[in-house]
Amino acid sequence: MFKTVLASALACAMALPAAAQIAGSGSTKVKMVEYTSPMMPPANYKGQWWTSPDNCQYSRAGRPGETVWYLIVNTAHMQCERRLIQRVMSDYQ
């Protein structure tokens, strides 16, 4: 049950940025933006899930070439960020 709910939530979350890319692909110049934080995994981390130092659990998502970590809701506590943006295209909103 949990995996089904998580898969559905991730599919919805991934659909929105992809639509934004198509809509803004006309004359807009898009570049990759990278962020660093002690809450994120190292840039070479290849796993699907990440537990941050403040004990929040995230799942990897994003368009090809991007890395956005979305909070796994049923493990969250009040100090957790909803998402951690590690590597994303500049048109991400």
> What confidence tens digit (pLDDT) does each residue in 7-55 have?
444 444 443 343 334 444 555 688 888 888 888 998 889 999 999 999 9
Tell me if 90 sits within 8 A of 20, measured CB to CB. Answer: no
Number of domains in the chain: 1
The residue segments making up the domain with residue 69 are 2-89
pLDDT score, position 28: 65
Residue 92 binned pLDDT confidence (cut-offs 50, 70, 90): low
DSSP state of 73: G
pTM of the entire predicted model:
0.62
Name residues whose C-beta falls within 8 Å of residue 55's C-beta, 6 or more positions apart in sequence: 77
What is the DSSP secondary-structure string of 53-72? TTS-EEEEE-STT-EEEEE-
The Cα–Cα gap between 60 and 4 comes to 16
Q: Identify the band that residue 91 occupies on the pLDDT scale cut at 50, 70 and 90.
A: confident
Alpha-carbon span 75 to 55, nearest angstrom: 9
